[in-house]
Amino acid sequence: MTDAELFASALTMLAESWATAAIPERVRAADYDRAIGERICRLMFEKCGGDSDAFRAALRDFIALSEEFVRLQIDLDKSGHYAYSSYDEVRAIVYDNPEVMDRRYLNGLFLSTAFWVNHTKILDYFHREFCDTASATGTLLEAPAGTGIFISEFARRNPGWTTEGIDISESAVAFGRAIARINAGGAPMIDKKDVFALPEDRKFDRIICGELLEHLEKPVELLETLSRLLAPGGTIFLTTAVWAANIDHIYLYISAQEVRDMLETRFRIESEIVLNVRDGKGPEEPRTPINYACILTAR
């Protein structure tokens, strides 16, 4: 099956669910990078061992994640707060729970890079503004490694770099290693570690921190840690979610400006991309779901 055929078969399946039925139309937009979507589907298919039934099961996990997002977002809009407020609580429910992590969380999150258009745009921004601007050699950390897509893409495009990914979830470490093997020949080293426990003397030329701020009770502590880990002249690629529900989101940002204000206490925002999730809502409007990504340097 070609990449185009694999992608088309996925769209056919997504059209059957109320939560994903609009995706086939959205990916026809001029600003959607279909090559990224097809590549993500190919990587998922290969991770499934070329098994079409396993690939369809992963797509069902993505559909389940999409349905969960819609329901949780409705609850957030009504209540004004996320479902959970404790990191220990969501760690037990999600990160240390293979029944959640190994299905809708990791499979769903990985496929969201192909089918949630904002996630596709953020990966394209990552390529242009972070991967393609790197020097020939250096050291890179990704915390958390998550699905492994960001660190493996960086390693694939920058083979002269030493790349290290860490995550607190055993499921995420296994998933990330699998994607790294397929996408970058296993180049990134991915291990189970906590970013807050890294030694004081560790320094990295580049850091990737995707969607962690909103998962913590005190995101400022993460910014302090990233500042300590960043080598002089270094660069950070960071993403977060604003007013966007997920089962493990804790810290609720009301607006993109609130994110900027927190980041600028320690970093300089060199560039950013701010994407609203809902049609008819502007990305600077408060209390609307937003995907935010930026490039940071030290002040």
Q: Among 115, 146, 163, which residue terminates a domain? A: 115
Q: Residues of the chain with pLDDT > 90: what percent?
A: 95
Note the pLDDT tens digit of each residue in 123-181.
999 999 999 999 999 999 999 999 999 999 999 999 999 999 999 999 999 999 999 99
Torsion-angle region of 180 (φ positive above 0: left; ψ -120 to 50: alpha; else: beta): alpha
Note the pLDDT tens digit of each residue in 27-69.
999 999 999 999 999 999 999 999 999 999 999 999 999 999 9
What value does the mean pLDDT take over residues 106-123?
Answer: 98
Q: Among 80, 115, 150, which residue terminates a domain? A: 115
Torsion-angle region of 185 (φ positive above 0: left; ψ -120 to 50: alpha; else: beta): left
Tokens 């470490």 belong to residue: 173
Same domain for 32 and 102, yes or no, is yes
Select from 63, 58, 72 the least CA-distant residue to 20: 63
Same domain for 102 and 144, yes or no, is no
Same domain for 168 and 197, yes or no, is yes
What value does the mean pLDDT take over residues 179-197?
Answer: 95
Instruction: Give 187 or 132, the one with higher predicted confidence.
Output: 132
Decide if pLDDT at 99 tops 90.
yes
Question: Please, which pLDDT band fits residue 212 given cuts at 50, 70 and 90?
Answer: very high
Question: Please, which pLDDT band fits residue 291 given cuts at 50, 70 and 90?
Answer: very high
Q: Residues of the chain with pLDDT > 70: what percent?
A: 100
Identify the CATH number of the domain in which residue 142 sits.
3.40.50.150
Same domain for 121 and 268, yes or no, is yes
- Residue 266 confidence (pLDDT): 96
What value does the mean pLDDT take over residues 269-281?
Answer: 92
Same domain for 98 and 199, yes or no, is no
Q: How many residues are listed for the chain in this entry?
A: 299
Residue 106 corresponds to which tokens in the numbers above?
Answer: 């990791």
Same domain for 142 and 42, yes or no, is no
Residue 254 corresponds to which tokens in the numbers above?
Answer: 């009301």
What value does the mean pLDDT take over residues 208-221?
Answer: 97
| Total domains, the chain | 2
What value does the mean pLDDT take over residues 226-250?
Answer: 97
Decide if pLDDT at 187 tops 90.
no
Decide if pLDDT at 186 tops 90.
no
Same domain for 54 and 76, yes or no, is yes
Instruction: Give 284 or 107, the one with higher predicted confidence.
Output: 107
Distance between CA atoms of 63 and 80, rounded to whole angstroms? 25
Same domain for 225 and 108, yes or no, is no
Residues contacting residue 64 through CB under 8 Å, at least 6 positions apart: 103, 104, 108
Q: Among 90, 115, 140, which residue terminates a domain? A: 115
Residue 80 corresponds to which tokens in the numbers above?
Answer: 């004004």
Decide if pLDDT at 285 tops 90.
no
Same domain for 105 and 121, yes or no, is no
- Residue 200 confidence (pLDDT): 87
- Residue 283 confidence (pLDDT): 82
Same domain for 195 and 67, yes or no, is no
Residue span of the structural domain in which 64 resides: 3-115
Same domain for 128 and 96, yes or no, is no
Same domain for 238 and 267, yes or no, is yes
Mean pLDDT of the chain: 96
